[in-house]
Structure 1
Amino acid sequence: MFYWWMKQVLVGPLLRLMFRPWNRGVENVPAEGGVILASNHLAVIDSFVLPLVLDRKVQFLGKSDYFTGKGVKGRLTAGFMRGIGTIPVDRSGGKASEAALNTGLRVLDEGGLFGIYPEGTRSPDGRLHRGKTGVARLALESGAPVVPVAMIGTGESQPIGKRIPKPMRIGVVLGEPLDFSRYKGMEDDRFILRAVTDEIMYAVMRLSGQEYVDIYAATAKARMAAGHPTAQPPAGAVAPGGRPAPDVQVPEPPEEPERPSVD
């Protein structure tokens, strides 16, 4: 009930006014049952905009720090994060990945939509980076379909370091569900996990039109912070899994109807 109130009454109308979100492929999200939404990650607002185009509740993981703040600001932040469907997870310990996996499995087992960013962190340069295999393990252990997602324009609205996003049109493109049931029981095979992850990232790349670079986003971010140049793709750009890069473009928003002139 609180999620519905936040989305429909408080936060949703403001975000729709700011971003006028457009979408393609919402019909690819099953109407019921557990589903993994695997998305590229360009800005903090990705987790706020994606749910706007879907009728079902979407749950993401969030740092437990968001829920433990003190004072009025801390309580408001915690309430806001819960209201938009964020689940607190402690990422500081050595078992952080296991906790995240178990949380995702619980959401999927309950028939929910679970949003995940396979890159692990926001892209530091706008490109699509190598996916971490947690998304593959989640898919194989849960048996849930994976719907690839491309967020369009969020990085321009809210570049890294910018707290308040710029109002502009933002898009969400959702691909057809990916079924990995053929790999059931093979979630401990690292080669299978890598192959599944690369297949997911390839689908995201085709939807987003992003250039792909085969290093982790966290590694690219660390190199940039240390003053090193970002990695350049080899001659003859490649896609996840070492395949040739597909000829794709960043999707454009549909044309908005002209408003009738007022004499």
Structure 2
Amino acid sequence: VARLALTSGRPVLPVAMINTRMVKSKVGIPTMRDARIIIGDPMDFSEYRDQVNDLHVLRWVTNEVMGAIQQMTGQTYVDVYASRVKRGELKGTELSKQLLAYPNQNQTRPVPATQFPAGAPVLDDPTVRE
């Protein structure tokens, strides 16, 4: 989502689905009774459109969209891949340390490329050597 939003320069509409569990109807056919779709306010990331290859910017934009969806659904954000939890790698207190109020809680907002001084090296510029 982040790369698409930055490349196109278009706003992102966060979309959440709630009450999507399947229940049996009166005739026994599984259906979703109270499913709802919530569309959030547009999110504009156009100030970062020149940083489509910056991984920090991509992660930050992705987390902002995830945070908007989290707020619409009331879900808890856990900063860990679900596969690690399913495999049993994280349990109890290890898992509770990964709970965040918001996905970008521990992240700093990236600086838009337009705010860099003229002539400053860009991190994703292949001509810049360390």
Is the alpha carbon distance of 1:232 and 1:141 closer, same or farther for their aligned partners in structure 2, counting shifts above 3 Å? same
Residue in 1 aligned with 2:96? 233
> SS where residue 146 of structure 1 aligns?
coil
How far off its partner does 1:185 sit? 1.1
Bigger Cα Rg? 2
Residue in 2 aligned with 1:142? 8
Q: Deviations over 1:32-70 (max 9, x none)?
A: xxxxxxxxxxxxxxxxxxxxxxxxxxxxxxxxxxxxxxx
Contact 2:6 2:50 in 1 (8 A): yes
How many aligned positions are there?
Answer: 99
Is the alpha carbon distance of 1:188 and 1:237 closer, same or farther for their aligned partners in structure 2, counting shifts above 3 Å? closer
Is the alpha carbon distance of 1:188 and 1:236 closer, same or farther for their aligned partners in structure 2, counting shifts above 3 Å? closer
How far off its partner does 1:235 sit? 8.4
Percent identity for Structure 1 against Structure 2: 41
Contact 2:22 2:30 in 1 (8 A): yes
CA distance in 2, matches of 1:204, 1:198: 10
The letter for the 1-side match of 2:104 is G
CA distance in 1, matches of 2:31, 2:59: 36
How far off its partner does 1:232 sit? 2.8
Residue in 2 aligned with 1:14? none
1:171-186 alignment to 2 at 5 Å?
171-186=36-51
Unpaired runs of 5+ residues, structure 2, are: 24-28, 107-130
Q: Which of 40, 52, 55 is the equivalent residue of 1:187?
A: 52
Is the alpha carbon distance of 1:185 and 1:171 closer, same or farther for their aligned partners in structure 2, counting shifts above 3 Å? same
CA distance in 1, matches of 2:37, 2:53: 32
Q: Which of 195, 206, 221 is the equivalent residue of 2:83?
A: 221
TM-score, normalised via structure 1 length = 0.34
- Runs of at least 4 residues off by over 4 Å: 227-231
Unpaired runs of 5+ residues, structure 1, are: 1-134, 159-163, 244-263
CA distance in 1, matches of 2:49, 2:98: 36
1:77-92 alignment to 2 at 5 Å?
none
Is the alpha carbon distance of 1:185 and 1:157 closer, same or farther for their aligned partners in structure 2, counting shifts above 3 Å? same
How far off its partner does 1:211 sit? 0.7
Contact 2:77 2:99 in 1 (8 A): no
The letter for the 2-side match of 1:150 is A
Is the alpha carbon distance of 1:146 and 1:165 closer, same or farther for their aligned partners in structure 2, counting shifts above 3 Å? farther
> SS where residue 151 of structure 1 aligns?
strand
CA distance in 2, matches of 1:235, 1:187: 28
TM-score, normalised via structure 2 length = 0.64
CA distance in 1, matches of 2:101, 2:32: 34
